[in-house]
Amino acid sequence: MFDQFTYFVYLSLLFFVLILTFKASRLNTISSNKIHPTNTSKLSLYHFLALFAISFVVGFRNEVGVDWLGYKDIFYDISANIATYEVEYGYFLINKYVAVLGGSSSIMFFIIALISWYFIFLSVPNRLLPLTIFFLFADEMFFWSMNGVRQFVAICIFLYSIRFIITRSLLNYFIFISIAILFHNSAIILLPLYFVPFQKLYNQRFWFIAIIISTFFSNVPLIISGLQNILMLIVPQVNLLSGYIGFIDRGQYVAEEISIGLGFLFRFISSIFIIYFSIEVVKRYPKTKIYFVLFFISSVIFNLSYMVKPIGRVNIYFTVIHSVVLALITYQLWASRKHQIVSIIVVLLYFILFLSTIYNSSNLCNPYNFSF
């Protein structure tokens, strides 16, 4: 659906945030290692203005997002001390304090968005932030964030926590993942990632073959039923993941409405593109291997289980890396000069995708209405 006001809101927000973060990226001296994954600067006034803009649009929305009404009802139930839906303690506390201070559900959504995007802004170098935000918007993660509200907080904290895997800071990693668990129980699956040897797992040829092969096994009944059996074995052993059994109990294990189409093809081509050009980034910034390996893993999981809802809700932690690796590659292609036209084409294609996802009301983002 084409709604002028909706397009005006989202396009204005995107360009406003990109301009602010680009101006902020120019405040610091450019170093030879300016996009090192842990080489981030303190946030400037420009960053906080951009954060406020995103949080305002996300917070003061009305009937936007698949679960918007559900989260609004949870807020009023918590305000009235009615225990109708159990949420994680961190999310509960924010709702409770906003209610105690006389705030509305819109204030609650604003604060949750502010926390989420604050961690995103801290997750990548300032030079890379405008591109990362662009791809987060264009690749539907921004729209998904207005649906998976609690889990998006956990995802953003995880994205920030990757730096502690790179720097081998076990305590800091466990602390921040523990905070993520306070917003979504599923974040517990992220704890073992610290011990994965990501630097040894980057192999361009291997992942190319793995992603190609996995596409031939998409939607295979044997794999789908096998994954269900695995879930039934593992989930009951981890109390924090018990909610995922509900997908099976409610008959929502398989998303029957999903079919292979242009979106699947576009994602496949994007994955191959990332594999091909990842070597250019890895050669210059070896510690970015972890981002590419996480993305390759998420691509294989997606190909094998895009129909399986519980797997999809877990894989979203890694899917967000798509925007980061696209930003890394686009930045490197532009810097290399000989591939600048490729970087322009990528940005244009994803901008078209952004316009298309608004038109198709991704995660019920369209029409957009303010709550006032």
Q: What is the pLDDT of residue 228?
A: 65
Q: How far apart are CA 52 and CA 49, in angstroms?
A: 5
* C-alpha neighbours within 13 Å on the C-beta side of residue 308: 25
Over residues 76-108, the pLDDT tens digits come to 999 998 877 889 999 999 999 999 999 999 999
Q: What is the pLDDT of residue 56?
A: 98
Q: What is the pLDDT of residue 86?
A: 84
In this predicted structure, the answer to whether residue 29 has a pLDDT above a threshold of 90 is no
- 3-state secondary structure string, the chain? CCCHHHHHHHHHHHHHHHHHHHHHHCCCCCCCCCCCCCCCCCCCHHHHHHHHHHHHHHHCECCCCCCHHHHHHHHHHHHCCCCCCCCCHHHHHHHHHHHHCCCCHHHHHHHHHHHHHHHHHHHCCCCCHHHHHHHHHHCCHHHHHCCCHHHHHHHHHHHHHHHHHHCCCHHHHHHHHHHHHCCCHHHHHHHHHHHCCHHHHCCHHHHHHHHHHHHCCCCCHHHHHHHHHHHHHHHHHCHHHHHHHHHHHCCCCECCCCCCCHHHHHHHHHHHHHHHHHHHHHHHCHHHHHHHHHHHHHHHHHHHHCCEHHHHHHHHHHHCHHHHHHHHHHHHHHHCCCCHHHHHHHHHHHHHHHHHHHHCCHHHCCCCCECC
The pair of three-digit structure tokens given for residue 136, joined into one six-digit string: 């987060």
Flag the least confident range among 114-118, 149-153, 250-254: 250-254
Single pTM value for the model: 0.90
Contacts of 102 (CB under 8 A, 6+ apart): none
Put residue 140 in one of left, alpha, beta given phi > 0 → left and psi -120 to 50 → alpha: left
pLDDT confidence of 351, banded at 50, 70, 90? very high
Q: What is the pLDDT of residue 308?
A: 74
Share the mean pLDDT of the chain: 88
Task: Output phi, psi for 148, to 5 deg.
Answer: -85, 65
Flag the least confident range among 8-12, 275-279, 306-310: 306-310
pLDDT confidence of 267, banded at 50, 70, 90? confident
Contacts of 352 (CB under 8 A, 6+ apart): none
Over residues 297-310, the pLDDT tens digits come to 999 988 887 767 77
Decide which of 329 and 260 is more confident: 329
Flag the least confident range among 50-59, 197-206, 252-261, 335-344: 252-261
